[in-house]
Amino acid sequence: MTSPKLTRAVLEEHADRRRRLTQIVNKPILLMGNGHRPRNLPMSSVAFRQDSTFLYFTGCTEPSAALLLDGSESTLYLRPPADDDALWHGHSETIEQTAAHYGFERARSIDCLDGDVSRIGTIATIAVPDLAQTQRAARLSSQHLSFGTANGDVDLIEAIITMRRILSTSEIETMRQTAQVTRDAHIAAMRATRPGVTEQHLAAEFHNVVMQAGLTLAYPSIVTVRGEVLHNFHHSNCLEANDLLLLDGGAESAGGYATDVTRTWPVNGSFSAQQRSAYDAVLESQLSGINLVRSGTRYRDIHMHCARVIAQFLADEGLITCDPDSAVEAGAHALFFPHGVGHLIGLDVHDLENFGDRAAYGRGRTRSGQGGTAYLRLDLDLEPGMVVTIEPGFYVVPAILGNASLRAEFNTMVNFDKAESWLGFGGIRIEDDVAVTHSVPDVLTAGIPKSIAELEAVISG
């Protein structure tokens, strides 16, 4: 165990969160952290990442830890160092010393957890990504728990959502600072772009900047000339002069806060006329969507606005044969913009998504069954302190244009012959992270080039 460097302000913020949580839930609470999970051999584990809720209330990045909140008492449970730990891992602190670094006065061995919980009785808990830790919490609480489905105590979940959904000034500032690393990484990839290099090479350029800054990736980077594949994590293609390169990537802070940014640019450093017209439309959609990120605005309205801007482009290009409003109402635009306009972001890149639509949809609101809008990940009225992404796109997806049922449904609204002439175009997505304030939107990732002039200058330079 190594000592973390947490400021007094951070320790006090974590302690305040624990106090607020116990006041809201008003029953004993058990939160489990993630443990190491084997990659192939027991001694070889996958990269460790602490459970976000556990991180939020403790700041603790130690594997196999637990937190027990019982009234005014907070106890951090840690795994004691093994007898030969110093041989393999260097000097190890006692659990009491480690707990003190996280601001805890009470520390116990994780081996004491079962007995301590049994003396308390009924507890509230939640599932975490680590199956073994979830199973232990399920046994101790006599609940059925499954991460992402049977998430645990409803009162506890509601409290966590309420608290985590609104970020503090310090949390937002951490994301702003992390965005500077994300900016440098995107620019490094832009400058390395040229015909003949591989997607893997650009991915390595991006990752290298993040790693040199001492941070990690918030999610596996999408670096591809096949941008029409929305979550394309393969980096196997070689770049050709007429390709568009789409890079969706972001750094994660040492405390776990994510950034999520997408940029799209021409491999040869100059947009063709066709690429320019599509890019201008997506950028107009994104900029006007960002301008709507204000307190009290319904997020779904931002999505629909961005969709209408894309639909106007489709009409101007002859890809749809109806007026833009009719296309959006019927869902015809979603053949070219098939996803939602964004999501919450914070400690998770899709923040709180493990709790499902309970965290992302307002009371009484449910997902649309219409294509495209069905993938909208967020339908809340925005409040100051929320941070969201705005990421409209335009894609030419062969599987969509060739789908017989979609062609039958939209044959009077979409010019499929014209659309097929765009096959091979790929995709364009432009994404930024935007904090909701009491006034104008605060774009945390504004420093990353995205105008045509900026992109062409960086790539050509």
- Distance of alpha carbon 259 from alpha carbon 175, whole angstroms: 7
Please check whether residues 293 and 422 belong to one and the same domain.
Answer: yes
| Residue bearing tokens 């009409």 | 315
pLDDT, tens only, 282-333: 999 999 999 999 999 999 999 999 999 999 999 999 999 999 999 999 999 9
Q: How confident is the model at residue 17 (pLDDT cuts 50, 70, 90)?
A: very high
**pLDDT higher than 70, residue 72:** yes
Say which residue, 81 or 208, is predicted with more confidence: 208
Q: Final residue of a domain: which of 164, 196, 220?
A: 164
Domain boundary among 164, 192, 211: 164
List, in order, residues 6 or more apart from 249 with CB less than 8 Å away.
182, 185, 186, 206, 217, 219, 221, 222, 223, 261
Asked if residue 337 lies in contact with residue 330, where contact means CB atoms within 8 angstroms, the answer is no
Instruction: For residue 108, give the 3-state DSSP assignment.
Output: strand
Single-letter residue type at 333: H
CATH, residue 94: 3.40.350.10
Question: Which residue reads 């007026």 in tokens?
Answer: 323
Burial of 206 (0-12, 13-18, 19+ CB in 10 A): buried
- One domain for residues 230 and 83: no
Same domain, 130 and 181: no
> CB within 8 A of 84, min separation 6: which ones?
none
Position 267 pLDDT exceeds 50: yes
CB pairs under 8 A, 24+ apart, for 420-425?
422/274, 422/319, 422/396, 423/396, 423/398, 424/396, 425/228, 425/244, 425/274, 425/275, 425/278, 425/396
Q: Do 142 and 175 sit in the same domain of this protein?
A: no
Q: What is the pLDDT of residue 89?
A: 74
Dump pLDDT digits (tens) for 44-59.
888 999 999 999 999 9
Indicate whether 191 and 140 sit together in one domain: no
The percent of residues above 70 in pLDDT, for the chain, comes to 99
Query: pLDDT tens digit string along 18-32?
Result: 999 999 999 999 999
List pLDDT tens digits, range 133-189.
999 999 999 999 999 999 999 999 999 999 999 999 999 999 999 999 999 999 999
Give the whole-angstrom CA distance, residue 396 versus residue 361.
29
Place of tokens 């493990």: 354
Cα(330)–Cα(338) distance, integer angstroms: 13
Q: In percent, how much of the chain has pLDDT > 90?
A: 92
What 8-state DSSP symbol labels residue 344? Answer: B
Residue with the two structure tokens 């609101």: 365
pLDDT in tens, 74-85: 999 999 988 777
pLDDT tens per residue, range 372-381: 899 999 999 9
Measured over the CA atoms of residue 256, residue 37, residue 75 and residue 107, the dihedral's sign is: negative
Q: Are residues 173 and 286 in the same domain?
A: yes
Q: Quick check: is 3 in a domain?
A: no
401, 423: one domain:
yes
Top pLDDT among 46 and 3 is at 46
CA distances in angstroms from 357 to 100, 218, 270, 340, 384, listed in the order given: 37, 22, 41, 14, 20
Assigned domain for 1 exists? no
Cα(396)–Cα(394) distance, integer angstroms: 7
Q: Does residue 41 register a pLDDT over 60?
A: yes
* pLDDT one-digit tens code per residue, 422-433: 999 999 999 999
Statement: residue 199 has pLDDT above 60: yes
Domain that residue 55 falls in: 8-164
The answer to whether position 2 is within a domain reads no
pLDDT for 82-114, tens place per residue?
877 776 777 788 999 999 999 999 999 999 999
Are 213 and 334 contained in the same domain?
yes
Statement to judge: residues 154 and 261 lie in one domain: no
pLDDT, position 4: 58
Give the model's pLDDT for residue 90: 79
- Please check whether residue 236 is in contact with residue 199, taking contact to mean a CB–CB distance below 8 angstroms: yes
Radius of gyration of the chain (CA): 24
Together in a domain, 342 and 256:
yes
Q: Would you state the pLDDT for residue 92? A: 82
- Does residue 455 register a pLDDT over 70? yes
**1 pLDDT exceeds 50?**
no
Counted domains in the chain: 2
Among 164, 183, 218, the domain boundary falls at: 164
Q: What is the mean pLDDT of the chain?
A: 95
**Could you tell me the pTM of the whole model?**
0.95
